[in-house]
Amino acid sequence: MSKRTDPTEGVSEPDVSTPHRPWIRVTTVIVLAVFVLATLVSALL
């Protein structure tokens, strides 16, 4: 919630990190995928 309520973080982070460090986007996707898989596994268990 804190990240969504603060517009400066969501707007400044991608502009600064994406052009210089494109691997951050890939890492974010991987982390989200692992989080979703962990949630599904815990739900099944």
- Residues of the chain with pLDDT > 70, as a percent, come to 53
Positive or negative CA dihedral for 24, 30, 32, 38?
A: negative
Domain that holds residue 28: 2-44
Indicate the number of domains in the chain. Answer: 1
Query: Among candidates 29, 10, 26, which has minimal Cα distance to 1?
Result: 10
Section 13-42 average pLDDT: 82
Section 22-45 average pLDDT: 93
What confidence score (pLDDT) does residue 28 get?
94
Distance (Å, whole) CA 20 – CA 14? 10
pLDDT range class, residue 22, cuts 50, 70, 90: confident
Q: Is this prediction's pTM over 0.75? A: no
Section 9-29 average pLDDT: 67
